[in-house]
Amino acid sequence: MSCEHHANDAAARRVIGEALDQTLFVEAGAGTGKTSALVDRFVALVRGGTEIDRIAAVTFTEKAAAELRERVRGALEQAQGEADVSPRIAAALESLDRAQISTIHSFAQTLLRAFSAQAGVDPDFEVQDPVSTERRRQERWRLYLESLDGNRAAEEAIDRVLTLGLLTGEIERLAGDLSHRPTMAELLAANPLSASEPSWPDVGRLRADVESVTSGAPEGDHLSGRLNGLLSVLQALERSGDGEREATLAAGANALANGYKGNASKWGGKDRKAAALEIAERVSGELNGVLAGLRAAALAALLPLVVEFVSREERVRAREGSLTFDDLIVRVREVLRDNDGAREAFRERFAALL
Ligand SMILES: Nc1ncnc2c1ncn2[C@@H]1O[C@H](COP(=O)(O)OP(=O)(O)OP(=O)(O)O)[C@@H](O)[C@H]1O
Ligand SMILES: [Mg+2]
């Protein structure tokens, strides 16, 4: 870290240490002095008369929280001799072990216990460790799928995305991802995605286009292979009934993804090859567009089932008083957003949040 670097952001550092009544967002790279700046601000608050009990400092890991506490201790010890403020510094040092310097999850847990009544959670709630959260979610997802047995609409929605090429593990991962983003699940519950079904092109016309170049296609050329692959998919689509078309298209997905460009000398010239390539690109483009549209529509139809799982699980955990790390954050956010009393008490309790 060069001195010049520091000269450049000296003003920003001063604001962090002095503008104590302002809310700041500080973004800086690794090792640039973020923690030092936070410690400076902490000590400045103490100097200014804020009791250490009313300062909360949050970090992401236990290790960082422990480091922060020790750095605050070091900075307070250095400030100990300062004439006008030394009783404040001494009092802060005395209370430092009790200070709210913690991970964000631990802070959320403290708040949620304090506001459990307002948040509607059991004050003696337990916090699941992340490994059992994951295990439990997998188990509950399996039970949820079983509970959908015999639910025609649900079974059809699941079968459809599987037919279109999504794997069961991927659906489960979607459930996991949404469980980690309860806000997103909430949004999706309120505003379900809608994707309209794509319209199918005239398959006979596409087949005729491809045939117009496959008849004279050179043997052993990659572009010829690509066109033949497309032709097989189109012929299979023509033979398929309405109910089978999308499964047929999904089964041909590999042929649609083929990107071979062909060899002009084999095609007897650039122009002939270019014409053939243009048809291959256009036909695979149209079919890929249909496949993507079908997948989007199928996922949009599946999503409410996953969202239902996520919100149902959240209610079960609240009822059982067994919360995940994500719940801690979400529940605290909700109670502070929705409950005036909790928000007021929070403001009373903390003068500064770092
Ligand atoms: N204004 C400054 N001038 C010179 N050196 C500084 C300054 N601020 C911090 N440092 C030094 O830079 C190093 C990194 O500081 P610090 O740990 O505060 O950075 P950080 O941004 O929190 O790092 P990390 O990304 O690892 O958390 C420390 O050795 C610290 O003493
Ligand atoms: Mg740091």
Per-residue 3-state assignment (H helix, E strand, C coil) for the chain: CCHHHHHHCHHHHHHHHHCCCCCCCCCCCCCCCHHHHHHHHHHHHHHCCCCHHHEEEEECCHHHHHHHHHHHHHHHHHHCCCCCCHHHHHHHHHHHHHCEEEEHHHHHHHHHHHCHHHHCCCCCCEECCHHHHHHHHHHHHHHHHHHCCCCHHHHHHHHHHHHCCCCHHHHHHHHHHHHHCHHHHHHHHHCCCCCCCCCCCCHHHHHHHHHHHHCCCCCCCHHHHHHHHHHHHHHHHHHCCCCCHHHHHHHCHHHHHCCCCCCCCCCCCHHHHHHHHHHHHHHHHHHHHHHHHHHHHHHHHHHHHHHHHHHHHHHHHHHHCEECHHHHHHHHHHHHHHCHHHHHHHHHHCCEEC
Distance 242 CA to ligand 1 centre (A): 66
Examine the pLDDT at 86 and tell me if it is beyond 90: no
* pLDDT of the residue at 1: 46
Examine the pLDDT at 29 and tell me if it is beyond 70: yes
One-letter amino acid at 244 equals: E
* pLDDT of the residue at 5: 55
- Looking at all shown ligands, the one closest to residue 33's CA atom is 1
* pLDDT of the residue at 9: 83
Encode pLDDT of 195-242 as tens digits.
899 999 999 999 999 999 998 899 999 999 999 999 999 999 999 998
Paired with 100 in beta bridges are 56
CATH of range 3-123+342-353; options 3.20.20.20, 3.40.50.300, 3.90.226.10, 3.40.830.10: 3.40.50.300
Encode pLDDT of 175-194 as tens digits.
999 999 888 898 999 998 88
Distance 35 CA to ligand 1 centre (A): 7
Encode pLDDT of 252-275 as tens digits.
999 999 899 999 999 999 999 999
Distance 10 CA to ligand 1 centre (A): 13
The answer to whether residues 101 and 69 touch, using CB atoms and an 8 Å cutoff, is: yes
- 291-313 average pLDDT score: 94
CB of 32 closer than 6 angstroms to any ligand 1 atom: yes
Encode pLDDT of 95-152 as tens digits.
999 999 999 999 999 999 999 999 989 989 999 999 999 999 999 999 999 999 999 9
Parse the chain into domains and list their residue ranges: 3-123+342-353, 129-320
Cα dist from 15 to 34, 109, 211, whole Å: 13, 31, 72
CB of 322 closer than 6 angstroms to any ligand 1 atom: no
* pLDDT of the residue at 3: 52
Instruction: Tell me the percentage of the chain whose pLDDT exceeds 90.
Output: 82
Place of tokens 């003068």: 351
* pLDDT of the residue at 6: 56
Residues with CB under 5 A from ligand 2 (ion): 34-35
CB of 64 closer than 6 angstroms to any ligand 1 atom: no
* pLDDT of the residue at 7: 62
Nearest CA to ligand 1 atom 9: 33
The alpha carbon dihedral of 165, 297, 315, 345 has a sign of positive
Examine the pLDDT at 4 and tell me if it is beyond 60: no
Q: What is the Cα 97 distance to its own chain's centre?
A: 35
CB of 3 closer than 6 angstroms to any ligand 1 atom: no
CA pair distance 132, 134, nearest whole angstrom: 5
Instruction: Show Cβ contacts of residue 281 under 8 Å, excluding neighbours closer than 6 positions.
Output: none
Paired with 300 in beta bridges are none
Examine the pLDDT at 82 and tell me if it is beyond 90: no
Q: Return the structure tokens found at 263.
A: 């060899």
Cα dist from 155 to 145, 147, 258, whole Å: 9, 11, 32
**In angstroms, how far apart are the furthest CA atoms of the chain?**
96
CA pair distance 277, 221, nearest whole angstrom: 12
What pLDDT band is residue 2 in, cutting at 50, 70 and 90? very low
* pLDDT of the residue at 224: 96
**Nearest atom in ligand 1 to 39's CA:** 18
The answer to whether residues 350 and 332 touch, using CB atoms and an 8 Å cutoff, is: no
* pLDDT of the residue at 66: 95
- 7-17 average pLDDT score: 85
Examine the pLDDT at 14 and tell me if it is beyond 50: yes
Write down the mean pLDDT value for the chain.
92
CA pair distance 272, 266, nearest whole angstrom: 10
CB of 229 closer than 6 angstroms to any ligand 1 atom: no
